[in-house]
Amino acid sequence: MTARQLFEYALIEINKVQAPSLLLEDYNYFINKAIMQYINKRYNIYDMNQQTSDDLRVLKGTASLTNLTLKTGTAAGKATYIATLPPDYLHILNCIVEYTVSSNFKCYKSGATFTIGAKRETADMGSQIINNYYMRPSYKNPYFYLHNANEPTVLNIPDTANTRAGNPSAVNIEIRYGTDPTLFVLTKIHVDYLKTPRHINLTQEQYEQDLDTSQALEFTDYVCFEIIKELVALLMENASDPRLQSNIPINQAIPQTSSQGQEGRGRGR
């Protein structure tokens, strides 16, 4: 499905008495907003079943981060590394850390590699982790924490069609795994994440041409129809259309689950 097709389908949905005319600049704004609303709703219940995974599979990306910086003087301990996530990062799905053993230790030989999943550390967990022996970070119990880089520079990514400009500044991932970074040396961070969707921009020239040359949406057709529902609801609300009250329940193809509206179920578990 292309951007122009989606525009025309939205016009069909709102083609009723007192339906407003839809300017292209309004469409470009509302369609990108509708896409982000749909993504956030589905991410909230990601991996609940195969369909919720398939809904966003076109945005799933993986990265192995090797440019790591040892961070010193932190309350979490000396074994704290920082790496920069890809510029198209949107939401994290999971995180796995990979160590290299520097010397013989227990059942590990010098030079061997060791991988283990990292847990997500929330802002309110910091004091509990420090004071609770069983929750303290270690090579067997690492944590990851996301924050923006404290740098004044911004990423030079143009906000145009076919780009994934989602982060004006770099997003850092911080791995915390104890007080000794010399025995188990962090060498790689493997992350699965959702990429920022491509920016949609339909021009007047593309709309007026006989041949549809507008960009193709990266989502499958059934997801595009779900995005149209989000778009139509935004357009009707913006125009104070009374049909909004009946449009949403009538066009509800995917039943709402009890988990929707709640926080995601522990990303990076």
> Tens digit of pLDDT for each residue in 212-249?
899 999 998 889 988 998 998 888 888 777 777 777 66
Q: Is the dihedral of CA 203, 205, 206, 207 positive or negative?
A: positive
Residue 255 has pLDDT above 70, yes or no: no
Adjacent-strand bridge partners of 69: 82
Is the distance from CB of 83 to CB of 189 less than 8 angstroms?
yes
Is the distance from CB of 138 to CB of 178 less than 8 angstroms?
yes
- DSSP 3-state of 101: strand
199 vs 171: CA distance, rounded Å: 20
Residue 65 has pLDDT above 60, yes or no: yes
Q: Give residue 74's pLDDT band: very low, low, confident or very high (50, 70, 90).
A: low
What's the pTM value of the predicted model, to 2 decimals? 0.79
pLDDT value for 171: 87
The residue ranking higher by pLDDT, 157 or 197, is 197
- Locate the domains of the chain by residue range: 3-55+220-250, 59-195
Query: Residue 221 burial (CB < 10 Å; 0-12/13-18/19+)?
Result: exposed
* Backbone angles phi and psi of 175, in degrees to 5: -105, 125
Count Cβ atoms below 10 Å from residue 39 Cβ, excluding itself: 23
pLDDT in tens, 84-107: 998 889 889 999 999 988 888 888
